[in-house]
Amino acid sequence: MISFPGSIPRDGSIVARFEAQVSARPDAIALTLDGNSLTYARLNARANQLGAYLRELGVTSDSLVGIYLDRSFDLIAGVFAILKAGGAYLPLDLACPEDRLNFQLQDAGAQVVLTESHLAAHLQGYPGRIICLDVEVDRLASYASDNPPLAAGPRDLAYVIYTSGSTGLPKGVLVTQENVVRLFTSTEEMFHFGPQDVWTLFHSSAFDFSVWEIFGALLYGGRLVIVPYMVSRSATAFRELLIWERVTVLNQTPSAFRQLVQADLAAPKMETTLRYVIFGGEALEFQSLRPWFERYGDRQPRCVNMYGITETTVHVTYRPVTLADLETSGSAIGFPLPDLQVYLADENGRRVTRGEAGEMLVGGLGVARGYLNRPELTSERFIANPFTPDSASRLYRSGDLARERENGELEYLGRIDHQVKIRGFRIELSEIESALARHPSVRECAVLCRVDKGQEARLVAYVISGVEASGVEELRAHLAHTLPDYMVPAAFVFLPIFPLTINGKLDRAALPVPGSERPQLAAHYIAPGSDLEETLARLWQAALRRDAVGADDNFFDLGGDSLLLTTLHQQLQKELHREIPITDLFQFPTIRRLAEHLGRRADAPGGEDEAQARARLQRAAMSRGRRPTSNQALAP
């Protein structure tokens, strides 16, 4: 067996591996956030104290504990505390509507939720125990900070992550500690992760890419840089963070990385410390990497395409991407990880021949336990392996199509159902349709994922309804009450009748491309007035693909989302030749309000606000080779 520096033992639990790193390097930095840091010893002590409190409250093996926290040191300490208590963590996305949060907590049967006092108001419908960590500081300090006896083993649950469900309700995926640990032991020889690595926690803890980020850093003794949400929404700010923190392992969805590449092209070439850029969450189009490869080559960093599914624990395949791949077509996803198997089968469950398309059936140690409280769905999607004599072997039916190339590697071909991936989020279109159909004015509806030429994928809702006059805002608000923002369609098309196939079924291929005209909104159209408003309107029109945008139109009501806002933010700074915090675009979502705000800032004494000054300070600190602390004075 080959052993690499910093490699993790091949037996035991997540906690045992983490505590081995604590013992080996207690004073090494484990976490960094906004210039502050936390050592392995301090992180472990926090987790031990909170874990002891949770055990006192009855948390034990396979108990689910909700964790409703912003990206913070407490988020990571909370994850390890839950595992140390023997339980499994249930990550709750701050962007989720309250109805969806309450459903997940009720469905999971979570008796405890970790949060902070300013977030607790969003949990009013939750009947269980709410622990506000900012309030319980003194109580937690009274518990022992020593490592407790291990309370859970490899076969016990590590976490439950909810994904979109075809029945109109999300479904929880049961992932064990063994599922997680083998993900890293099976990829050691590919990546050689170790204590020298610096990772970013870029993704929400409710997205399984975060599992790879958190444990990839901390089970190898590396440093995890927690990326504030607003920094993750600004490609320019995130690029600066990569340089500033000397990040070596970057994990990105292709959509997010395309934004980063555009920000990078607008700045001087980085002296990058990156060793790897690892893609996941959605199909990677190799051609999109051309600008990056032309600037940095394909060796430092190495770009790796990794297809994966929540039900098979983050990653399934491994495929390095090279310059030569830019001349090929298709989305090659490579070969399965060493402890996984991928079979391609037809609709009758028979294996297809090389070159033929088939559904990907995934087997091996990454296959999750199943779905929480969904025995019928579990038996439908997690099936006995008919291709091996091992009666205990199971396969997960992915619903993804692939074919085997002549060299044996897999090429991803898309979905066989109405499930899609947008910006890394797996979405059941039928769940959106179900929520939309519950609006009293909607008679019929259909939702598609459209990828128009030269544009990012977007959700489009087609509606037969009698509320077109004010329907867009009304329907968006209706959906936002139960669905996270990434599941709310970017465009709504109102039709008098749906096109049908010769068999009388909905002809999805015949549904029209959304037009570029301004939708009918409750607010009447008011033309932009000042030069600044006209500039903003021009940029908005390009980003939103609209012929006209009114001064009082809301960016999000016009179909905007956080990804489009990132693009708009870059273009706006370039056009106005000034630094603008991306938070301004969230806070002032109409042209009139944003123009007024930008005008006030420009007229302020000195013309520079705190955000600009801090950005200047950080750049100066980077040039001196050090990180400023969060309370460092803003020098003139």
Least confident span in 490-499, 582-591, 609-618: 609-618
Phi and psi at 601, nearest 5°, equal -65, -40
Q: Which pLDDT belongs to residue 520?
A: 66
Average pLDDT value for the chain = 87
Q: Which pLDDT belongs to residue 345?
A: 96
Least confident span in 34-48, 289-303, 460-474: 460-474
Q: What is the pTM of this model?
A: 0.79
pLDDT in tens, 530-565: 888 888 889 888 888 788 888 888 888 777 877 778
pLDDT grade for 526, boundaries at 50, 70 and 90: confident
pLDDT grade for 62, boundaries at 50, 70 and 90: very high
pLDDT greater at residue 237 or residue 6: 237
The superfamily in CATH containing domain 432-510 is: ANL, C-terminal domain (3.30.300.30)
Contact predicate 478/492, CB 8 Å:
no
Per cent of the chain over pLDDT 90 is 56
Token pair for 244: 């500033």
Q: Which pLDDT belongs to residue 260?
A: 93
283 pLDDT higher than 50:
yes
Per cent of the chain over pLDDT 70 is 89
Number of Cβ within a 10 Å radius of residue 148: 16
Q: Which pLDDT belongs to residue 580?
A: 87
Q: Which amino acid is at 31?
A: L
User: If you ran DSSP here, which 8-state letter would residue 506 be given?
Assistant: B
pLDDT grade for 607, boundaries at 50, 70 and 90: very low
CA-based nearest residue to 266, from 473, 569, 58 = 569
Q: Which pLDDT belongs to residue 399?
A: 92
194 pLDDT higher than 70:
yes
605 pLDDT higher than 80:
no
Q: Which pLDDT belongs to residue 623?
A: 38
Token pair for 600: 């006030």
Number of Cβ within a 10 Å radius of residue 600: 10
Q: Where in the chain is the domain with CATH 3.30.300.30?
A: 432-510
Instruction: Determine the distance from the C-alpha atom of residue 599 to the mean position of all C-alpha atoms in its chain, rounded to a whole number.
Output: 34
Token pair for 126: 């939750």
610 pLDDT higher than 80:
no
Q: Which pLDDT belongs to residue 467?
A: 55
pLDDT in tens, 397-412: 999 999 999 999 999 9
Phi-psi region of 13 (alpha: psi -120 to 50; beta: other; left: phi over 0): beta
Token pair for 573: 């700074």
- DSSP 3-state assignment of 331? strand
The superfamily in CATH containing domain 531-601 is: ACP-like (1.10.1200.10)
Q: Which pLDDT belongs to residue 291?
A: 92
pLDDT grade for 603, boundaries at 50, 70 and 90: low
Q: Which amino acid is at 307?
A: Y
Least confident span in 15-24, 326-335, 503-512, 604-613: 604-613
Q: Which pLDDT belongs to residue 497?
A: 83
Least confident span in 23-32, 63-72, 114-123, 585-594: 585-594
**Partners of 172 in beta bridges:** 162
Q: Where in the chain is the domain with CATH 1.10.1200.10?
A: 531-601
- DSSP 3-state assignment of 329? coil
Token pair for 423: 């910006």
pLDDT grade for 67, boundaries at 50, 70 and 90: very high
424 pLDDT higher than 80:
no
529 pLDDT higher than 90:
no
pLDDT grade for 576, boundaries at 50, 70 and 90: confident
276 pLDDT higher than 90:
yes
pLDDT in tens, 243-262: 999 999 999 988 889 889 98
Mean pLDDT of 73-85: 98
Q: How many helices (H) and strands (E) does the chain have?
A: 20, 26
Mean pLDDT of 461-482: 79
Mean pLDDT of 5-16: 68
Q: Which pLDDT belongs to residue 625?
A: 40
Distance CA 185, CA 340 (A): 12
* 442-450 sheet: strands from edge to edge: 442-450, 458-465, 491-494
Phi and psi at 553, nearest 5°, equal -75, 140
pLDDT in tens, 300-318: 999 999 999 999 999 999 9
pLDDT grade for 635, boundaries at 50, 70 and 90: very low
150 pLDDT higher than 70:
yes
- Work out the angle between the directed axes of helices 562-576 and 254-265 (0-180°, nearest 10): 0
